[in-house]
Chain A
Amino acid sequence: MSSIILEGVTKRFGTHLASDHVDLVIPDGKFTVFVGPSGCGKTTLLRLIAGLEDIDDGLLLIDGIDMARTQPADRGLAMVFQSYALYPHMSVRSNLGFALMVARRPKAEIAERVDRVAAMLDLSRLLDRKPAALSGGQRQRVAIGRALVRQPKAFLFDEPLSNLDAALRAQMRFEIRRLQQDLGITAVYVTHDQAEAMTMADQIVVFRDGRVEQVGAPLEIYRNPVNDFVAGFIGSPRMNFLSGRYAAAYGVPTIGIRPEHLDIAPLGKWQALVLTVENLGSEAFVHAELEDGKAITVRCAAAASIRAGSRISFTPSDTCVHRFDADGRAIAGTDANFMLESANAP
């Protein structure tokens, strides 16, 4: 089992800084998820760790040894690609055994290890098929199996579920997580889907423009985002950001509040005009327009009969209001003064 430590890892493509002095600890045996919008450098960083791109500057310690200049295969990492990247001309058996074959392992050992992994992933019936004759989910499992056969120090996943339909994605999410926990293996997982990050991760790393914005456990990041970017990126529906008089009441230029922290009540502090209602059965999201024209989303019980065109009033739960300064940085905000101030706010 292995930890991966990055120190000042930098990568430039021409003048573009794809990875800007990244310092990061990927703990042993934990599931770390890189998340961020497209083009934020998360995939680049994964490829730098894998060795598929050369690191311009910085250290990459795998089990304490600097491997920044080591060949991909010698780093002891295995990667699962977005497109699965199976060898189309080989059977599932050959796909699984390819790494062992090029490493010149004895035939008996290859067969034994391939069979064991195939059994683990429920692929035993499919060993003689070609990838083209497999479903998306099966291909995905072969791709994972191919990584597993090598008994790597760590798994690297590059958006592995983005080509699957929603139902299968949820199932594979669970399977990958269970497998990782059973084996206790270190995993790095790249996704742009914050829901995937929240549900799978032990540790989330949020990226923007090649830099790490925040590292932490999912709930920690959800509850205490360090800035408006992280606050807006993590959580669905998105956090509401308000300025003007709404924020002034809290003594800052901008406040953020999540849809579930607004309570609809007859004599609420804020009023809005309902535009649409998204009813999911278990809960409903009301999309409304505040008096200053800003859009706001409020979560409520599915049973609440709110219709488009009606007016609602609601109150923010003050302990859950995030306050941001002019640069978007979060201001630690639950001290006594602040509570008092907000209690007196209009």
Chain B
Amino acid sequence: MHRGRLSTIGAGAGAWLAAIAIAFPLLWALLTSFKTELEAAAYPPSFVNFSWTLDNYRAALGGGEYFAALWNSLLIAGGSSALALLVAVPAAWAMAFAPTRRTRGLLLWMLSTKMLPPVGVLIPIYLFYRDWNLLDTVSGVAILLAAGNLPIAVWMLFSNFKEVPAEILEAARMDGALLLQELGLVLAPMALPGLASTFFLIFTLAWNESFWTLNLTSTDAAPLTAFIAAFSSPQGLFWAQLSAVSMLSVAPVLAIGWLCQRQLVRGLTFGAVK
């Protein structure tokens, strides 16, 4: 019994250490964001006894660039996620409830497109976008990210829908539900945790995406990723300000994640437990 308690404490301590190690960069950036530029670059670094300041946040929020970037990020992440779900829900529905011999292969093939290095198609897509006037537009980036996240969305929804008994959808069909009613009134409410976690995952992926956003936007459609990148300016690095901007970019996703934590955990482990 004594040994059992010791090992519990040991495991707890180990878990905390691992958690701090993983979260350290984020925590360090959080601390740095409250320092002056001088203190941020100081060596050895100080942990708490520095003069706390909000100047970096004031500077980052001033000028309105942050809010323009935030708005673009919301539009791009939200729009691409909505667009991806719009296509992924019917696709996953068909694959889960009316599978053919090729369904498995199709799913694997879809996922294999994620293994393509994006830089391999940068030039053709860039040229396309230039000719179709999609460069530096929110819709252009949103469409691209929606397409990029589609395989993940279909996979997640497919495994979620698989957990819904087909008989319930058949019962709805017998009851006279049209296809859209079957999807909207029966399937969607039952698969809500899965839908929510899928939306959140692809939303986060789109929010964090920086390869395409950096390459295809410049000013009008630049999201937060581009805003942060812009801080590595020719005048040198401003660590404290950069940290403040990073915190401001992470905050919205963190807040959303916190709010739908319960749904998310249920969705991501759906079917794994039970």
Contact = CB atoms under 8 A, between A and B. Distances in A.
B167 A82 contact: yes
Interface stretch (A70-78, A225-233, A305-313): A70-78
Interface in B179-231: 181, 185-186, 189-190
A148 interface: no
A50 interface: yes
A268 interface: no
Nearest to B165: A83
A100 to B, nearest CB: 9
Given A102-B178, A102-B181, A87 B173 contact: no
Contacts, number: 54
A88 B190 contact: yes
B171 A73 contact: no
B118 to A, nearest CB: 39
Which of B173, B181, B190 counts the most A-chain CB atoms under 10 A from its CB?
B173
B174 A87 contact: no
A81 B176 contact: no
B167 A99 contact: no
Contacts of B176: 73, 99, 102-103
Nearest to B175: A99
A50 B186 contact: no
Given A83-B165, A85-B167, A102-B181, A77 B190 contact: no
B142 to A, nearest CB: 31
A77 B165 CA distance: 21
Nearest to B192: A89
Contact of B174 (A72, A83, A86, A103): A72
A86 B174 CA distance: 12
Contact of B168 (A78, A85, A103, A150): A85
B165 A102 contact: no
A52 interface: yes
A103 B178 CA distance: 10
A98 interface: yes
A258 interface: no
Interface residues of A, number: 21
Contacts of A73: 173-177
Which of B174, B177, B185, B186 counts the most A-chain CB atoms under 10 A from its CB?
B174
B167 A146 contact: no
A233 B165 CA distance: 31
Nearest to A156: B174
A102 B177 contact: yes
A82 B186 CA distance: 18
Interface in A44-90: 50, 52, 72-73, 77-79, 81-83, 85-89
Contacts of A150: 175
Given A73-B176, A102-B178, A103-B176, A85 B171 contact: yes
Contacts of A86: 168, 171
B170 A89 contact: no
B107 interface: no
Contacts of A77: 174
A81 B167 contact: yes
A79 B176 CA distance: 12
Interface residues of B, number: 17
Given A85-B165, A89-B190, A146 B170 contact: no
B172 interface: yes
B170 A81 contact: yes
Which of B170, B176, B189 counts the most A-chain CB atoms under 10 A from its CB?
B176
A99 B185 CA distance: 12
B55 to A, nearest CB: 51
Nearest to B176: A73
A72 B165 CA distance: 18
Contacts of B189: 89
Contacts of B165: 83, 85
B174 A79 contact: yes
Given A99-B176, A102-B175, A87 B181 contact: no
Interface in B127-147: none
Given A85-B165, A85-B168, A87-B186, A146 B175 contact: yes
A86 B185 CA distance: 13
A189 B167 CA distance: 17
A85 B170 CA distance: 8
Nearest to A147: B174
Contacts of B178: 102
B100 to A, nearest CB: 11
A67 B90 CA distance: 28
A79 B189 CA distance: 22
Given A85-B165, A88-B190, A98 B170 contact: no
A86 B190 CA distance: 12
A98 B167 contact: no
Contacts of A85: 165, 167-168, 170-171
Interface string B24-48: 0000000000000000000000000
Contacts of A88: 168, 190
The 7 closest A-B pairs by CB, nearest first: A73-B176, A99-B175, A85-B167, A85-B171, A89-B189, A81-B167, A85-B168
8 contacts: A52-B173, A78-B174, A85-B170, A87-B190, A88-B190, A98-B172, A98-B177, A102-B181
Interface of B: 165, 167-168, 170-178, 181, 185-186, 189-190
Given A85-B165, A86-B171, A87-B186, 13 more contacts: A72-B173, A72-B174, A73-B174, A79-B170, A79-B171, A81-B170, A83-B165, A85-B168, A85-B171, A87-B171, A98-B177, A98-B185, A102-B181
